[in-house]
Amino acid sequence: MPDPYRIPPPEHVDDAFAAVVALRRLADRLERATVARALADGWTWERIAQALGVSRQAAHKRHARHTPPFRSRRPS
């Protein structure tokens, strides 16, 4: 059974680029889902930005349009 985590050898450049694209797509999906969950749990954009290592503005710009409005799970 082939190892799905193996890095393609340098002579298989097409396979290596395909792996890079697939990993980027997976990372983007994971990041969007995690931001959505964090917002649903009451996280602020500032806290999300710190977790991602970016500015609050950068986090909001990247994710606000992809994130449905959630109500905070924290008591009011």
pLDDT at 69: 66
- Domain ranges for the chain: 15-66
What is the rounded distance in angstroms from the CA atom of residue 17 to the CA atom of residue 63?
A: 26
| Token digits of residue 68 | 């449905």
Mean pLDDT to the nearest integer, 54-62: 95
What is the rounded distance in angstroms from the CA atom of residue 6 to the CA atom of residue 15?
A: 11
Whether residue 15 contacts residue 2, with contact meaning beta carbons closer than 8 Å, is answered with no
Mean pLDDT to the nearest integer, 31-59: 96
Global pTM?
Answer: 0.73
